[in-house]
Amino acid sequence: DGGITQSPKYLFRKEGQNVTLSCEQNLNHDAMYWYRQDPGQGLRLIYYSQIVNDFQKGDIAEGYSVSREKKESFPLTVTSAQKNPTAFYLCASSKLSAGDYYEQYFGPGTRLTVT
């Protein structure tokens, strides 16, 4: 089955600890994205990557870091510098072509709680 997997589904951390969220896709998509969703709010873009070994900051990149060493994988690290890390984190991927839009497929998400 093709799709996007995120693990774990729920994650609990103490304040001050860095934590890495996993995102893997086997759809052969070029582009991958990380979003954060807070209750009652829309998804906000954290980082995105359109090609291996390259990524760009989204609207709320502060306190986060990413890597894209493989086409299939786009892990997100929530650092201790992120002031309000408790949220629902969603990874997405899509094909990419100049001038065309391709649907973004989402993984099931990771709920991170930091106390």
* CA dist., res. 101 & res. 115, Å (int): 39
Give the Cα separation of 115 and 103 in Å (integer): 35
Q: Could you say whether residue 12 binds other proteins (CB under 8 A)?
A: no
Choice between 19 and 90, CB closer to other proteins? 90
Query: Does residue 49 interact with other proteins by CB under 8 A?
Result: no
Position among 1, 15, 16, 41 found at the interface with other proteins (CB under 8 A)? 41
Does residue number 22 form part of the binding site for other proteins (CB under 8 A)? Answer: no
Among 22, 7, 2, 27, residue whose Cα is nearest residue 94 = 27
Per CB under 8 A, residues contacting other proteins are: 31, 35, 40-45, 48, 50, 88, 90, 94, 96, 98-99, 101-104, 106-109, 111
